[in-house]
Amino acid sequence: MYDSSFWPKGVTRGHPVLFVFWLLICGAILQFTGIGAFLCLWKGLNQTGMNDYYAFGLWIVIDLAVIALGAGAFFTSFLSYIVRIKELKNIVGVAVLIGFICYTGAIMMLGIDIGQPIRGWFGFWHANIHSMLTEVMFCITTYAIVLIIELLPAVLENRQIAKVPEFGTFAHNLHRIMIVFAGTGTFLSFFHQGSLGGMFGVLFARPFAFREGFMIWPWTFFLFILSAIATGPSFTTLCVMITEKVTGRKLVPHKTKMLMGKISGLLLTAYMVLKLADTYYWAKVMVPGVGSSLDVMYQAPYGTWLLWAELGVCGVLPAIMLLVPRVRQSYGLLFLAMLLNCTGIVLNRFVFTIQSLAIPVLPFEKFIAFMPTWQEIAVGSLILGYGFLVYSLAYRYLPIFPKEVELSQD
Partner 1 sequence: MFPFSFEWHWDIGHLVFFGVFYAALTVIGITLVATIFKTGKDIASGHAHVEHDDEHDAHAEAAEA
Partner 2 sequence: MYDFKKIYRTEESRYGMLINIDKCTGCGACSVACMSENNSGVLEDETNKIRSVTWLRVYQVDNGQAFPKTEVAFFPRPCQHCQGGKVGNYKEGFFFEDPDAHENHTPCVSVCPATATDYDEKTGIVSQVPTRCIGCRYCVAACPYHARYFNWYDVPWPKGSERALSPFVSPRMRGVVEKCTFCFHRYQQAQNKAFKDGEEKIAEMDYQTACTEACPSGAIMFGDLNNPDHKVGQTIQQYQKEGRFVFRLLERLGTNTKVFYTTEREWVRRKADNFISDEDFKQALPGQKG
DSSP annotation of 5 reads G
Judged by CB under 8 A, the residue of 14, 27, 34, 123 near partner 2 is: 123
Choose between 135 and 310: whose C-beta lies nearer to partner 1: 135
The interface with partner 1 within residues 208-247 (CB under 8 A) comprises none
Q: How far is the CB of 343 from partner 2 (least distance, A)?
A: 25
Distance CA 394, CA 247 (A): 14
Q: Which stretch binds partner 2 (CB under 8 A): 99-107, 167-175, 256-264, 354-362?
A: 354-362
Report if residue 215 touches partner 2, rule: CB under 8 A: no
Q: Which residues of 120-133 are buried (b: 16+ CB within 10 A; e: fewer)?
A: eeebeeeeeeeebe
Choose among 185, 179, 225, 184: nearest CA to 201: 225
Choose among 391, 393, 58, 410: nearest CA to 236: 391
The angle at the Cα of 391, spanning 388 to 395, to the nearest 5 degrees, equals: 130
Q: How far is the CB of 133 from partner 2 (least distance, A)?
A: 4
Mark 80-109 with x for binding to partner 1 (rule: CB under 8 A) and - for no binding. Answer: ---------xx-------------------
Q: How far is the CB of 110 from partner 1 (least distance, A)?
A: 19
Mark 363-392 with x for binding to partner 2 (rule: CB under 8 A) and - for no binding. Answer: xxx--x------------------------
Choose between 134 and 247: whose C-beta lies nearer to partner 2: 134
Judged by CB under 8 A, the residue of 86, 163, 166, 205 near partner 2 is: 205
Angle between helices 219-247 and 331-350 (to 10 degrees): 140
Q: Which stretch binds partner 1 (CB under 8 A): 57-65, 118-126, 252-260, 350-358?
A: 118-126
Q: Which stretch binds partner 1 (CB under 8 A): 125-133, 257-265, 320-328, 338-346?
A: 125-133
Choose between 179 and 294: whose C-beta lies nearer to partner 2: 294
Q: Which stretch binds partner 2 (CB under 8 A): 115-123, 183-191, 303-311, 387-395?
A: 115-123
Mark 24-63 with x for binding to partner 2 (rule: CB under 8 A) and - for no binding. Answer: --------------------xxx---xxxx-xx-------
- What kind and span of H or E run contains 73? helix 72-77
Q: How far is the CB of 199 from partner 2 (least distance, A)?
A: 7
DSSP annotation of 57 reads -
Q: Are 175 and 21 in contact (CB under 8 A)?
A: no
- What kind and span of H or E run contains 6? none
Size of the site for partner 1 (CB under 8 A): 42
Give the DSSP letter string of 192-242: HHHHHHHHHHT-TT-TTT---EETTEEHHHHHHHHHHHHHHHHHHHHHHHH
Choose among 88, 90, 67, 68: nearest CA to 76: 88
The interface with partner 2 within residues 8-27 (CB under 8 A) comprises none
197 makes contact, choosing from partner 2, partner 1, none, with CB < 5 to 8 Å by partner type, with: none
Distance CA 104, CA 96 (A): 12
Q: Which residues of 18-43 are buried (b: 16+ CB within 10 A; e: fewer)?
A: ebeebeeebeebbebbeebbebbeee
The interface with partner 2 within residues 259-288 (CB under 8 A) comprises 288
Report if residue 249 touches partner 1, rule: CB under 8 A: no
Residue numbers of the site for partner 2 (CB under 8 A)? Answer: 44-46, 50-53, 55-56, 113-116, 119-120, 122-123, 125-128, 130-134, 137, 199, 202-207, 212, 288-293, 296, 356-357, 361-365, 368
